[in-house]
């Protein structure tokens, strides 16, 4: 019997048979050691004895773990399709999807005015900025510090009351952990009142009170968002995906299910030319080339020079970026427009090369550059002729339209080196690999960004990958493995071939991250007729309200029908048109509500956040975020409404979660160690 101290997320809880085996291992350790695999188990227990070197320490840990199993289950937050909207993302992280404001209401009720509650919430979200604002107002800071410290401590106690003291301590900034812990243990007993008063006064006297207020605010934030799930699409459209990534890298418990837009940047970091061109086209389209230059230190001067030279006399009428004139420097518009067209044409060429390299993908219908009739100014699109909006293609050879010119090849090689040598981009992509995956099973929930490829009749679609066919969970595992392999392979032909998987995941009809029959990027640029812009969804999105299909997916991933959920992003839910994110009677939750400003006119809101705690599921939908400055100066928060999706009959404990499954495994091993100590099979080290 092999053993380890933890189980992976998604492992099942301890069964009655396992409990019986644990009991037998504790009572009959001699028989256990006589098993054929006993030597492996004994070696493991010997190693474990270095962590718990005595009966006393092993017993104490068993008592501690058994107690933790009875605590309320951790609070999980689910977010998706952030698309670089870093200010809104950071604010929602700070306010815990409205949870902190709820804690303030619960704690203070009618004891504080609405303005005082708003000020306290702002102090928790942006402590130093709020302090600076109050100081500038001429407030009596001594009294203000004391009042706010006491209020913050009350909220911190409420936020941490369902966790162990050890976990609460780990949520505190280390330099203030002792003081905050002391203040949080404050009681109404008169014997200690002077002690707590002196702590507060001393902090003010030694000029450390502001740092302490910031530390308590951070502790409250840390305790409110306990575990964060990002269901894909951190990148593209918005101005700060790199800022979002920096924030995620500083969080203690986060996992990411890759989205198709994340895959683009992951492929670009691997040096895949098609993905580099796609990443640059998308940033140019939304006026966010600063993300590439300032965020990731990638030099775009060669692209600028090429674009200004090649398209000098071209108005590039189809390529004006989609920008907000209030935040975008309109002086950059002419050059950004030309850069946008230059990289888009290169992308279309590289896509054509990719499709021709992979006839097994059956994507020949997406070869469009060779369907243009130069004389007539039209394009033959799926058997029908349409006029082209522009016919200026100075770099496209009609005889070989998918071949890059020498200048384009040199440009792409330069960009490849820049992407692969961007230290920050590589650091972010390694984080995505280490903390991410195509799907995750966590606490009986199946998390993935897009879809499970299905046939029209609801069976799992068979997808060709490297000469074999895969479907369902095996397909997801195979593609996940290829993504990791493509990143870590050394430069060479095998890496080049393997990284083609990123393009497959980005746009193939059978990609679990795309879920549409075609991506009509070319059509949106060059054909005016809206009928050519339609991107029809694949069968998953027509069948996800069918309980039989959802149960089939549960079976494929080893989940039970009664307690499991599928949680998706990718396709914005049009709440303004009456669409609900709750599908299949609550078994499937589609939580893309338009976090990206580009989608908010369509959805009518500014995103969803799903919260799962010991009482069940709550879906929070948010109004658009104005700005950080408004939040600080006027105390404006994101207005959020909460919808109870599901209440559990019995409040869930840690023992009901994947963390509980890990603890049960640890208890099995500790009890075996304890039995080995008591039987003399292993000697105590103390």
For residues 272 and 295, what is the distance between their CA atoms, to the nearest angstrom? 20
Decide if pLDDT at 636 tops 80: no
Residue 146 lies in a domain: yes
Give the global pTM. Answer: 0.88
Residue 641: predicted pLDDT: 61
- Kindly indicate the confidence band of residue 578, based on its pLDDT and cuts at 50, 70 and 90: confident
Are 87 and 121 in the same domain?
Answer: yes
- Residue ranges of alpha helices (H) inside 547-640 are 547-556, 600-603, 628-633
The proportion of the chain whose per-residue pLDDT surpasses 70, expressed as a percent, equals 88
Q: Tell me the pLDDT tens digit for each residue of 501-548.
A: 999 999 999 999 999 999 999 999 999 999 999 999 999 999 999 999
Q: Single out the residue of 319, 295, 294, 297 nearest to residue 307, CA to CA.
A: 319
| 3-state SS, residue 281 | helix
Clarify whether residues 142 and 85 are in a common domain. Answer: yes
Domain assignment of residue 638, yes or no:
yes
Mark whether 100 and 203 lie in a shared domain: yes
Indicate the pLDDT class of residue 606, thresholds 50, 70 and 90: low
Residue among 6, 36, 67 nearest 654 (CA): 67
pLDDT digits (tens, 9 = 90+) for 113-126: 989 998 999 999 99
Q: How many C-beta atoms surround the C-beta of residue 72 within 10 A? A: 16
Co-location of 210 and 82 in the same domain: yes
Compute the average pLDDT of residues 436-458. 96
- Please state which of the ranges 132-146, 261-275, 508-522 shows the lowest mean pLDDT: 132-146
More confident residue, 9 or 99: 99
Mean pLDDT of 644-651: 75
pLDDT band at residue 272 using 50, 70 and 90 as cut-offs:
very high
- Asked if 125 and 636 count as a contact pair (C-beta separation under 8 A), the reply is no
Q: Domain of 582?
A: 76-231+569-652
Average pLDDT (94-116) is: 88
What per-residue confidence (pLDDT) applies to 637?
60
Distance separating alpha carbons of residues 654 and 72, to the nearest angstrom = 6
- Residue 13: pLDDT band by 50, 70, 90 thresholds? very low
Does one domain contain both 61 and 176?
Answer: no
pLDDT at residue 187, rounded to an integer: 62
Tell me whether residue 666 is in a domain: yes
- 108 and 32 in a common domain: no
Q: Coil, strand or helix: which one is 612?
A: strand
Burial of 680 (0-12, 13-18, 19+ CB in 10 A): exposed
- Same structural domain, 48 and 194: no
Same domain as 207, residue 82: yes
My answer on whether 57 and 194 are in the same domain is: no
| Structure-model confidence comparison of residues 582 and 307, the more confident one | 307
Give the pLDDT score at 576. Answer: 67
Asked whether residue 212 is assigned to any structural domain, the reply reads yes
Average pLDDT over residues 311-318: 93
Regarding whether 200 and 81 lie in a shared domain, the answer is yes
User: Mean pLDDT over residues 289-313, rounded?
Assistant: 96
CA–CA separation, 506 and 543 (whole Å): 22
Number of folded domains that form the chain:
2
Q: How far is CA 171 from CA 101, 248, 253, 611, in A?
A: 19, 16, 11, 20
- The mean pLDDT of 627-632, rounded to a whole number, is 68
Q: Do 40 and 173 have their domain in common?
A: no
Please give the Cα distance from 393 to 98 (Å, whole number). 51
Tokens of 252: 């203690």
Q: Mean pLDDT check: name the lowest of 162-171, 183-192, 312-321, 524-533.
A: 183-192
pLDDT at 643: 64
Domain identity same for 175 and 145: yes
For residue 255, being part of any structural domain is answered with no
682 pLDDT more than 80: yes
């Amino acid at each position: 019997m092999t053993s380890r101290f933890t189980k992976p997320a998604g492992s099942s809880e301890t069964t009655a048979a396992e409990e019986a085996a644990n009991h037998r291992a504790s009572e009959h350790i001699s028989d256990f050691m006589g098993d054929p695999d006993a030597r492996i188990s004994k070696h493991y227990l010997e190693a474990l004895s270095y962590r718990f070197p005595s009966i006393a320490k092993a017993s104490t840990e068993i008592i501690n773990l058994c107690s933790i199993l009875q605590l309320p289950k951790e609070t999980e937050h689910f977010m998706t399709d952030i698309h670089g909207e870093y200010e809104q993302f950071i604010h929602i992280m700070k306010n815990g999807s409205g949870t902190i404001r709820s804690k303030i209401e619960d704690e203070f009720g009618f004891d504080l005015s609405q303005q005082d509650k708003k000020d306290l919430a702002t102090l928790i979200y942006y402590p130093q900025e709020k302090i600076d604002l109050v100081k500038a107002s001429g407030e009596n800071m001594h009294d203000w510090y004391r009042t706010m410290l006491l209020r913050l401590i009350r909220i911190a106690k409420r936020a941490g009351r369902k966790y162990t003291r050890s976990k609460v301590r780990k949520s505190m900034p280390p330099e203030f952990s002792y003081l905050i812990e002391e203040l949080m243990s404050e009681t109404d007993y008169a014997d200690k009142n002077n002690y707590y008063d002196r702590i507060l006064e001393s902090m003010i006297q030694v000029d450390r009170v502001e740092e302490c207020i910031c530390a308590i605010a951070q502790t409250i934030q840390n305790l409110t968002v306990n575990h964060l799930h990002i269901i894909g699409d951190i990148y593209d459209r918005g101005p700060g995906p790199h800022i979002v990534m920096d924030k995620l890298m500083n969080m203690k418990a986060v996992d990411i299910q890759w989205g198709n837009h994340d895959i683009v940047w992951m492929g670009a970091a691997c040096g895949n030319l098609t993905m580099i061109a796609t990443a640059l086209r998308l940033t140019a389209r939304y006026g966010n080339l600063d993300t590439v230059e300032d965020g990731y230190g990638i030099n775009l001067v060669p692209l600028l020079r090429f674009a200004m030279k090649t398209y000098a006399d071209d108005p590039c009428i189809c390529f004006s970026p989609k920008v907000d004139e209030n935040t975008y420097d309109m002086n950059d518009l002419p050059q950004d427009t030309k850069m946008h067209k230059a990289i888009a044409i290169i992308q279309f060429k590289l896509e054509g090369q990719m499709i021709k390299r992979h006839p097994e993908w059956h994507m020949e219908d997406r070869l469009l550059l060779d369907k243009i009739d130069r004389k007539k100014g039209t394009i033959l699109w799926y058997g029908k002729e349409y006029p082209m909006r522009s016919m200026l293609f100075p770099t496209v050879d009609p005889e070989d339209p998918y071949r890059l010119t020498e200048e384009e090849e040199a440009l792409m090689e330069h960009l490849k080196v820049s992407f692969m040598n961007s230290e920050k981009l590589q650091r972010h992509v390694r984080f995505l690999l280490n903390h991410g995956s195509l799907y995750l099973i966590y606490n009986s929930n199946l998390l993935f960004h897009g879809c499970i490829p299905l046939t029209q009749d609801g069976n799992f679609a068979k997808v060709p990958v490297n000469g074999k066919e895969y479907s369902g969970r095996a397909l997801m595992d195979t593609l996940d493995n290829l993504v990791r392999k493509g990143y870590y392979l050394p430069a060479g032909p095998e890496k080049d071939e393997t990284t083609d998987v990123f393009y497959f995941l980005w746009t193939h009809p059978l990609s679990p991250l795309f879920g549409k029959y075609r991506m009509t990027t070319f059509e949106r640029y060059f054909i005016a007729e809206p009928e050519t812009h339609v991107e029809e969804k694949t069968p998953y999105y027509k069948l996800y309200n069918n309980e039989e299909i959802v149960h089939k997916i549960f079976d494929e991933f080893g989940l039970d029908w009664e307690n499991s959920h599928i949680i998706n992003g990718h396709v914005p839910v049009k709440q303004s048109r009456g669409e609900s994110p709750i599908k299949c009677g609550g078994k499937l939750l589609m939580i893309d509500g338009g976090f990206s400003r580009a989608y908010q006119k369509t959805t009518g809101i500014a995103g969803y956040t799903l919260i799962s705690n010991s009482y069940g599921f709550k879906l929070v939908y948010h109004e658009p975020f104005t700005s950080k400055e408004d939040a600080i100066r006027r105390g404006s928060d994101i207005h959020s409404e909460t919808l109870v999706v599901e209440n559990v009959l019995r409040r869930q404990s840690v023992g009901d979660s994947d963390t509980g499954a890990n603890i049960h495994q640890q208890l099995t091993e500790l009890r075996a160690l304890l039995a080995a100590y008591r039987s003399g099979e292993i000697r105590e080290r103390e």
